Amino acid sequence: MKTNTKEHKIFAIIYKTIKPTKDTWKAWGIAAIIAIVLSFALGISFKIVTAFNNSVEIINNILLAFVAMVMGAYALFQALLSDELIGLMSEAESDVDENVLNELNSSFLGTVLLYWIFIILNCILLIIMGIIPEEYMICDNIYICNCIAIVLMFLYYVFVFRSIFEFKNFTFNIYNLFRAYNLVGLLRILRKKK
């Protein structure tokens, strides 16, 4: 039986993109703080369903914009790759025991797939939340219902905001690529002068 299927590789890339590490603890902490504030603010609201639905819609719009920006930036990334730059990047090792080119490609793929998963989840949530009446309660006790809502919203918000913060890493990677591209161009100019 083949255990290293395409789906396993895709989920491994997504997990690698968002997994908690010593380098990402600040992003996870900020995401958790935002998640706590939003979850409690919405959890004690009289219109939890509507408020959560609105927040999911806003987040979905942000993710859609980020996907467009990431795809555009990646197209630029591919356009800037010269044979010389590809050679340098494939020889340079990154912090994760692979070459820089593979790391950048994995970062791009992981970021886009992560956003697409949340976009699909958000679409499902928007449909479900659209049919739930505002006064709906899972049980008879309003406090238990609010606690359940707060916990579920916290989990959603912490992961979605952590994934949104991944855009910063992708932006940093693209910035470093532009710097490398400029250095290769500068080296070409210096060689011509000699």
Angstrom distance (rounded) from CA 112 to CA 109:
5
Q: What is the DSSP string of 72-114?
A: HHHHHHHHH--HHHHHHHHHSB-TTSSBHHHHHHHHHHHHHHH
Instruction: Encode pLDDT of 103-152 as tens digits.
Output: 777 888 888 899 999 999 999 999 999 898 888 888 888 889 889 999 99
> Where do the DSSP E strands lie in 37-95?
none
Whether pTM exceeds 0.95: no
Output Rg (C-alpha) for the chain, integer angstroms: 21
pLDDT at 154: 97
pLDDT of 161 strictly over 70: yes
pLDDT of 32 strictly over 60: yes
Strand partners, 99: 93
Amino acid type, 179: R
pLDDT of 158 strictly over 60: yes
Neighbours of 94 (CB within 10 A): 15
pLDDT at 98: 64
How does the average pLDDT of the chain come out, rounded?
85
Mean pLDDT check: name the lowest of 24-28, 73-77, 153-157: 73-77
Residues 6+ apart with CB under 8 A from 129: 49, 52, 53, 56
